[in-house]
Amino acid sequence: MEDKVKYEMEFPIQASPSLLYQYISTPSGLSEWYADNVNSRGEFFTFIWNESEEIAKMLSKKNGERVKFRWLEDEDSSYFFEIRIQVDEITKDVSIMITDFAEDDEIEEGKMLWENMISELKQILGSS
């Protein structure tokens, strides 16, 4: 298998960090914008899109700040995806920071997917 490459993205968003955290850390929040449906059992989250289903393990979370998942298919690797809320100390501007991995020829596709999903989240939150 080809090695995956880490990439990071930043999305400015107008929303309170505490509200945003509900959308990135809970099954009900994630199913609003990330997947069609999300269920969790302990640290395992099942993400459902149309007819496909993927399971991820929540590796860590920091209340109000970030969540980090690893897909079970990547269990024996160091790959993960992380959604982090960043607040600029001076301006108080809020951004969502995405860290993810993809194979070289799939990075652009991965970035477009995140752009679409974050755009969906912004619509739900009424953020421009």
pLDDT tens for 53-82 read: 999 999 999 999 999 999 998 888 899 999
> What is residue 22's predicted lDDT score, i.e. its pLDDT?
96
Across the chain, mean pLDDT equals: 94
Q: What token pair was written down for 35?
A: 């997947």
82-101 average pLDDT score: 97
> What is residue 1's predicted lDDT score, i.e. its pLDDT?
52
Band of residue 51 on the pLDDT scale cut at 50, 70, 90 = confident
Selection from 99, 97, 100, 93 nearest residue 127 by Cα? 93
Which residues pair with residue 22 across a beta bridge?
A: none
Band of residue 104 on the pLDDT scale cut at 50, 70, 90 = very high
Domain residue ranges in the chain: 4-125
Beta-carbon contacts of residue 6 (< 8 Å; ≥ 6 apart): 99, 100, 101
Q: State the pTM of this model.
A: 0.93
Domain spanning 4-125: CATH superfamily: START domain (3.30.530.20)
* pLDDT at position 46 over 60: yes
